[in-house]
Each structure stands twice: as structure tokens, then as C-alpha cells.
Amino acid sequence: MNTTQVVNIDSSALTTIDVAEPHWYAVRTRSRHEKLAARELNAHGITVFLPLISSERQWSDRRTSVELPLFSGYAFVRISFFSPDRIRVLRATGVVSFVGQTPADTWIPDEQIESIRTVLARGISVKDHPFLNVGQRVRVRNGSLSGVEGILVAVKGSRTLVISVEPIQRSLCISLDDYAIDPVEDRSCSATEQAAIR
């Protein structure tokens, strides 16, 4: 069994993973080639995730809704990095490269991809947010976002959940005002954090 030691991007703890197992990786695409790359990858049997959001566009004679990539210039693939699938990904039309200085080690935790899938599947309104990778991690425990994890941010008394994808340094945020949340980790929180969570 092939294994390698990597630094897990969530915990910064040295862990051993089986590099033969499939993981999520981010790929960089040429401008406006995200959909084309995703279609071709899917046709080649590669598990691909291209998060899309609806955007209203005004033309001279009509208003129409178009689907645009949530993270412009990026798509996500689930592969075993040292398998022939890696070459298939790199040869796909519009794909530029894998993300990361050492792409094999720059895998994305399943929870981050699933959180984005859940938010988009439920039609929750999302907004861009400056990238965050520190702060109180929480999990939504009720409603349509149940199980979604992210970082808790409080702005002017309003609670926001920020979902970050570390390798591409991008984040999105959603309002948490109608949801109950729990800390993800058992680490002790400050009084301010405890008050924000409640």
C-alpha cells in the first residue's frame, strides 16, 4: 500500500493518508472554460464538481438567468492522484493545472465539498467573502443546512457562516440568523465565542 505523510490543511497535524485512495483536488482552468472542462472530465468518467450559481443578466431587450461558476477559474475532481486519472484531468480541454505547490498533498477534505454541495442544493443565497482559515469552526444542527460546517463570523450582531476552500483561497458566506449551531471541536472557547454561538 502506498502511503505518504502530509499536513492536513484543517488541523495542521501530521497524518498519514493512502495516496491510492481518491481525494478531492482543485484544478485551475482557463478563463471561461470551467463548464467545458467539467463536461469533458465527466465524459471521461472523472468525478467532477463545478459549483454553479444563478445570476440575472440584463440584455437590451430582455432579462435572463445564467449559471456562472461560484469560483471562477476552478473546478474540483475526485481522483487517486497517482493513477491514470491525473493525466486524463490534465489533458482535458481548458484545464491548466492542479492547484498547489505539491498538488498530491493539496487535497480538500470531503466536508468542505459536501458543505458547498448542500448550500447550493438547498438554494441558499450565498455571497463572496474574504478568505478565512482561522476562527471558531461550527456545525449547523437544524433546518435545511443541518450538518454544514464552516467558520463562525459575527458582523454587527448578525451571525454568518463562512465556508472556505483552502487550496484555492476562496470563501463564501451565508446568514446563520435562523439556525442553531454547535462547535465542531471540543477545544475551549472564549466567553465572546460562547456568546456568539448561543
> For cell 450538518, what's the residue?
147
In this prediction, residue 44 carries a pLDDT of 95
pTM, 2 dp: 0.79
Task: Give the domain 3-105 fold.
Answer: Alpha-Beta Plaits (3.30.70)
User: What is the per-residue pLDDT across 70-90, written as a single tens digit (0 to 9) for each?
Assistant: 999 999 999 999 999 999 999
| Structure-block grid coordinates of residue 151 | 467558520
Nearest of 133, 127, 167 to residue 150 by alpha carbon: 133
Q: What is the pLDDT of residues 163-175, one digit of tens each?
A: 999 999 999 999 9
Q: Report which DSSP code applies to 145.
A: G
Strand order from edge to edge, sheet including 23-29: 47-49, 74-79, 23-29, 95-98
The domains of the chain are located at: 3-105, 110-197
pLDDT band for position 198 (50/70/90)? very low
SS3 content of the chain, % helix, strand, coil (to 5): 25, 40, 40
The single-letter code of the amino acid at 178 is: D
Q: How far is CA 130 from the centre of its chain?
A: 14
- The pLDDT value recorded for residue 54 is 87
Q: Which conformational region is residue 155 in: left (phi greater than 0), alpha (psi within -120 to 50 degrees), or beta?
A: beta
Q: What integer is the mean pLDDT of 181-186?
A: 78
**How big is the chain by its Cα radius of gyration, in Å?**
18
Q: Is 158 exposed, middle or buried (0-12, 13-18, 19+ CB in 10 A)?
A: exposed
